[in-house]
Chain A
Amino acid sequence: MAKTVLPFGPQHPVLPEPLHLTLTIEDEIVKEAIPKLGYVHRGLEKLAEIRDHNQMIYIVERVCGICSCLHALCYCQGIESLMGLEVPSRAKYLRTIWSEMHRIHSHLLWLGLFADAFGFESLFMQFWRIRERVMDLQEETAGNRVILSVNQVGGVRRDISAESAQWILDTLKTVEKETLQLKSTILDDYTVKLRTVGKGVLTKEKAYELGAAGPTLRASGIAQDMRQTGYAAYSELDFAPVVETDGDCYARTTVRFNEIFQAIDLIRQAFSKLPEGELAVKPKGLPTGEVVSRVEQPRGECLYYIRGAGKKFLERVRIRTPTFANIPPLLDMLPGCDLADVPVLILTIDPCISCTER
């Protein structure tokens, strides 16, 4: 049969955000995929020229709605290292707690969307109901549900009281219990396995070569997690990256599912070790020099390049988000798969197009 060229997206029921793929198909088998990005470019990096470095915290948070706290954390870490600030250890622990809350809600969101992608809508509702509990935790502790605005240069803006901490730990117990109840549905179900096992295999070598990041990389058997670099309070907490070896859609689902429990465990550890003390130090001087700052977002490694010239305004802010790194692996997975599997495959890299295009 002759080749057919099929435009996939930018508006597609499975995609929450606009990503366009030009698929060349033959007998419903994908032969080639060419991406087209740029539908939601907002020029946020350029804003660094007209907003000072403190205002930029709230702008970089708006790069992505799901991992807002981690964008601000990555940016603040960069500015702090340029200014030579030492963040108080309580602030470091609180940053860790909020980061892990973000990971839980992001993974629950993804599991829901993924269930929706293969048509399991009631499972989608179940996951999002659990997620709502985590959103409440964020609203109570940080003030806002989605964009937390808790980080500032030199520390954090809010404290978590002892009562709030107890409430958080109680709620996380419920979250853990309810998520475990859905484990057999998402991981053992016959139909779900038919859609995921053996689909979109990304080999270990290819994952490394193409520079995959986050759960996409770890599902291919590479134990690489930016939290191991020990930013915030991670150097004092005990954890190991969640790794699967198959590299298919099922492995990526398993990695994300297990990371929810890892995050809950990390929050518990952080609360048990939470030191007393200052929340923030007062920044002195202006950012001078250049720095690369990295954090592990729910989707993978996020990288900030910041250059300051001793002025209020930064010279350059460059953001490399995990989805940008995960698009080449996606293009490697697509050839050879069924057209009906394309939506599921795209979702397994957890695409965040707003992040990618900034």
Chain B
Amino acid sequence: MFMTKTILKNLLTKYATRLYPFQKRETFAHSRGELKIDMEKCILCGVCQMRCPSQCIKVDKQAKTWEVDPFSCVYCGVCVEACPVKCLYQEKLYRAAVAEKDMVMHVQQPKETAEPAAT
């Protein structure tokens, strides 16, 4: 009996849920999402690797590579704050689901023609 008012109200108001793949929620301005890197700015100092609590980042100075395991990343944003040159940033949205797990590797090119190559 006590629910009657709520039920009637629910019948007259719009849905509380979204039709997800067709209608997506706007992300919040400060959400922490997928970790990305601007490889041109990176100085390969390795601070992100040292600070990461889930140890998902690997930096190789010799090979000039920066590697992240997106499936271990916990979106805490510690590396983004610790980066001395601010080359790391986070997207607003978390990583989409995939069929196969894969590491994301960026190689720093020696010249300014550099384009971060994802494998």
Contact = CB atoms under 8 A, between A and B. Distances in A.
Given A51-B53, A122-B3, A189-B2, A144 B75 contact: yes
A123 B30 contact: no
Contact of A139 (B16, B28, B52): B28
A143 B3 contact: no
A182 interface: yes
B43 to A, nearest CB: 22
Contacts of B78: 55, 58, 149
A59 B31 contact: no
A242 B13 CA distance: 34
A132 B81 CA distance: 28
Contact of A185 (B2, B31, B53, B75): B2
A143 B81 CA distance: 13
Interface in A158-175: 158
A184 B30 contact: no
Interface in B37-57: 51-54
Interface string B77-103: 110010000000000000000000000
A170 to B, nearest CB: 16
Interface residues of A, number: 29
A149 B6 contact: no
Contacts of A59: 53
A141 B52 CA distance: 22
Given A51-B53, A58-B74, A129-B16, A181 B32 contact: no
A157 interface: yes
A140 interface: yes
B76 interface: yes
Interface in B63-82: 74-78, 81
Contacts of B52: 55
Contacts of B53: 51, 55-59
Contacts of B77: 143, 149, 157
A158 B6 contact: no
Interface in A11-60: 51, 54-59
B3 A185 contact: yes
Nearest to B30: A143
B6 A55 contact: no
A144 B7 CA distance: 32
Nearest to B90: A143
B5 A181 contact: yes
Interface of A: 51, 54-59, 62, 122-123, 126, 129, 132, 136, 139-141, 143-144, 147, 149, 157-158, 181-182, 184-185, 188-189
Given A55-B51, A58-B78, A129-B16, 17 more contacts: A54-B51, A55-B78, A58-B76, A59-B53, A123-B3, A136-B28, A139-B28, A140-B29, A143-B31, A149-B75, A149-B76, A158-B30, A181-B6, A188-B2, A189-B1, A189-B2, A189-B3
16 contacts: A51-B53, A54-B51, A56-B53, A122-B3, A129-B16, A132-B16, A140-B29, A140-B31, A141-B30, A143-B30, A143-B75, A143-B77, A147-B74, A157-B77, A158-B30, A188-B2
